[in-house]
Amino acid sequence: MVELYSEPDVKKIVVVGHVDHGKSTLLGRILLDTGKIPADKVEAVKKTCEEKHVPFEPAFFFDALQEEQEQGISIDTTRVNFEFDGHRFLLIDAPGHIEFLKNMTSGASEAEQGIVVVDCVEGIRSQTGRHLKVLSILGIREVIIVVNKLDKIGYNETTFTKLAADLADLADAEGLRCLKVIPISALHGENITATSENFSWYNGLPLLPFILKLKEDTLDFTTGSEPLRMVLQDVYKFNDMRYFAGRVMSGEIAPGMEIFFSPSGKVSTVASIETFPAGGKQKAFKGESVSICLTEQIFVERGEVISSTREVPEVETEFGSRIVWLSSEPFQPDNNYLLKIGTNEVNCEVTVVTPAGGSRHASAVLNNGDIADVKIKTERPIAFDRSLSTANLNKLVLCSKYDTVAAGVVNLKGERKHDAPVADPNVVFEEGYVQRGMREEQNGHPGTVLWLTGLSGAGKSTLAKALERFLFNSGYKVVVLDGDNLRTGLCADLGFSPEDRSENIRRISNLAKIFLDTGFITVVACISPYEQDREQARKLIGDADFNEIFMFCPLEVCKSRDPKGLYKKVVTGQVSNLTGLSSPYQPPVNPHLRLDSSRMTTRDEVSAVIDLLDQKGVVHKDRLTAPAVTPVPEATPQAKL
Partner 1 sequence: MSSYLDWLENESVFIIREAFNKTKNLALLWSMGKDSTVLLHLVRKAFLGQVPLQLVHIDTSYKIPEMIRWRDEFAARNGLKLIVGQNKQALDEGMGPEKGRLVCCGALKTQALLDTVKEHKLGGLLLGIRRDEEGSRGKERVVSPRSSNSEWTYKNQPAELWHYYNLHTPDDVHLRIHPILHWTETDIWEYIRRENLEIMPLYFGNDEGKRYRSLGCWPCTGTINSCASNLDEIIEELRTTETTERAGRAQDKEDTYAMQKLRKDGYM
- Asked whether position 451 contacts partner 1 by CB under 8 A, the answer is no
Angstrom distance (rounded) from CA 407 to CA 326: 8
Maximal C-alpha separation, the chain: 84
- Asked whether position 130 contacts partner 1 by CB under 8 A, the answer is no
CB of 129 to partner 1, least distance (A): 20
Q: Are 628 and 474 in contact (CB under 8 A)?
A: no
Nearby residues of 182 by Cβ (< 8 Å), 6 or more positions away: 144, 145, 146, 147, 191, 202, 204, 205, 206, 207, 210
Angstrom distance (rounded) from CA 605 to CA 525: 14
Stretch that binds partner 1, among 288-296, 506-514, 572-580, 613-621 (CB under 8 A): 288-296
- Asked whether position 78 contacts partner 1 by CB under 8 A, the answer is yes
| CB neighbour class for 617 (10 Å; exposed up to 12, middle 13-18, buried from 19) | exposed
Q: What is the set of active-site residues?
A: 528
- Asked whether position 245 contacts partner 1 by CB under 8 A, the answer is yes
- Asked whether position 86 contacts partner 1 by CB under 8 A, the answer is no
CA atoms lying within 13 Å on the CB side of residue 536? 21
Q: Are strands 10-17 and 87-93 parallel, antiparallel or unpaired?
A: parallel
CB of 580 to partner 1, least distance (A): 20
CA atoms lying within 13 Å on the CB side of residue 572? 6
- Asked whether position 404 contacts partner 1 by CB under 8 A, the answer is yes
CB of 276 to partner 1, least distance (A): 4
- Asked whether position 557 contacts partner 1 by CB under 8 A, the answer is no
- Asked whether position 421 contacts partner 1 by CB under 8 A, the answer is no
Nearer to partner 1 by Cβ, of 302 and 436: the residue is: 302
Task: Residue 133: name the closest of 417, 331, 337, 384 by CA.
Answer: 417
| CB neighbour class for 554 (10 Å; exposed up to 12, middle 13-18, buried from 19) | middle
Size of the site for partner 1 (CB under 8 A): 66
- Asked whether position 148 contacts partner 1 by CB under 8 A, the answer is no
- Asked whether position 92 contacts partner 1 by CB under 8 A, the answer is no
Q: Are 39 and 4 in contact (CB under 8 A)?
A: no
* Segment 384 to 403, residues that bind partner 1, using CB under 8 A: 395, 397, 399, 401-403
* Segment 101 to 120, residues that bind partner 1, using CB under 8 A: 102-103, 105-106, 109-110
Q: 417 phi and psi, to 5 degrees?
A: -90, -125
CB of 73 to partner 1, least distance (A): 11
Stretch that binds partner 1, among 285-293, 417-425, 449-457, 522-530 (CB under 8 A): 285-293
DSSP characters over 125-174: -HHHHHHHHHHHHTT--EEEEEEE-GGGGTT-HHHHHHHHHHHHHHHHHT
Among 287, 330, 357, 542, binds partner 1 (CB under 8 A): 287
Consecutive H or E run containing 444 = none
- Asked whether position 495 contacts partner 1 by CB under 8 A, the answer is no
CB of 598 to partner 1, least distance (A): 26
- Asked whether position 321 contacts partner 1 by CB under 8 A, the answer is no
- Per-residue binding string, partner 1, 35-74, x by CB under 8 A, is ---xxxx--x---x--x----------x-xxxx-------
Angstrom distance (rounded) from CA 8 to CA 61: 27
CB of 629 to partner 1, least distance (A): 44
Angstrom distance (rounded) from CA 535 to CA 482: 19
Among 407, 523, 526, 537, binds partner 1 (CB under 8 A): 407
Q: How many CB atoms lie within 10 A of CB 492?
A: 8
Which residues in this chain contact partner 1 in the complex, by CB under 8 A? 6-10, 38-41, 44, 48, 51, 62, 64-67, 75-81, 88, 102-103, 105-106, 109-110, 138, 233-234, 236, 238, 243, 245-247, 274-278, 284-289, 291, 302, 326-327, 340, 343, 395, 397, 399, 401-405, 407
